[in-house]
Amino acid sequence: MQKRLYTFFILVLVVCKTSITANTQDVGLLGLGKTMQQTFINPAANLEKTWNLSLGNLRFEILTDGPTFNQLTKKNIDGNRYIRPDGWQNSVNDLNLLSANVDIHTIDFGCKAGKWFFMAGHAFRNGGSLTYTSDVLKLVANGNGPYINQTLSIGPVLDFLTYNEIYLSAQKRLADLPLV
């Protein structure tokens, strides 16, 4: 009985770890089977139609390892939000990261010729990150009164990257891989 319970526990851990990893790596796009969007994650994904065209795909994500918006603010009786200085100050990191990515795939085109498949496309990619200290949050929440005659590190660091991506690819289908 103990061996079965242990095996079940390990199985649950593996399933949880796999689903969390798949979610963080946008593996959900692979579930769009046989579409051009599937190739954004796996360029070797097999497309079976002779002609494939994809127009105007937008992908947006925002990430933070610091306090969330709901931790930093609270709603008053009127429903308006205000910065609340309690609760989050002891759990904030010394350095916090806020990042955002925007990918715009303008056009993707694919053509199948026998066992060969050729693709071309263009994407406009943007990424930005803001690194800020806990002193910035505490200064905004508490005002400058508690910090008179103290040295604070409040210089945020902003990094921004934008580029155009043009790609060409060719793939050849060899054989199906049985999962037996």
Task: Dump pLDDT digits (tens) for 36-80.
Answer: 666 666 666 677 778 887 787 888 888 888 787 788 788 888 888
Q: Both 27 and 96 in a single domain?
A: no
Residue 167 lies in a domain: yes
Question: Domain of 142?
Answer: 33-172
* Range among 1-5, 6-10, 63-67 with highest mean pLDDT value: 63-67
Interatomic CA distance for residues 130 and 116, integer angstroms = 43
Number of domains in the chain: 2
Task: Calculate the average pLDDT of the chain.
Answer: 78
Q: Both 12 and 68 in a single domain?
A: no
How many H-runs (helices) and E-runs (strands) does the chain carry? 3, 6
Q: Both 78 and 112 in a single domain?
A: yes
Full-model pTM: 0.58
Percent of the chain with pLDDT over 70: 78
Q: Both 10 and 41 in a single domain?
A: no
Q: Both 9 and 92 in a single domain?
A: no
Residue 178 lies in a domain: no
Tell me if 107 sits within 8 A of 132, measured CB to CB: no
Percent of the chain with pLDDT over 90: 8
Q: Both 73 and 9 in a single domain?
A: no
Interatomic CA distance for residues 100 and 98, integer angstroms = 7
Tell me if 151 sits within 8 A of 172, measured CB to CB: no
Tell me the two tokens of residue 93.
């990191």
pLDDT tens per residue, range 100-125: 998 888 888 888 888 888 888 898 99
Band of residue 22 on the pLDDT scale cut at 50, 70, 90: very low
In DSSP notation, 108-167 reads EEEEEETTEEEEEEEEEEEEEEEEEEHHHHHHHHH-SGGGTT-------EEEEEEEEEEE
Q: Both 20 and 80 in a single domain?
A: no
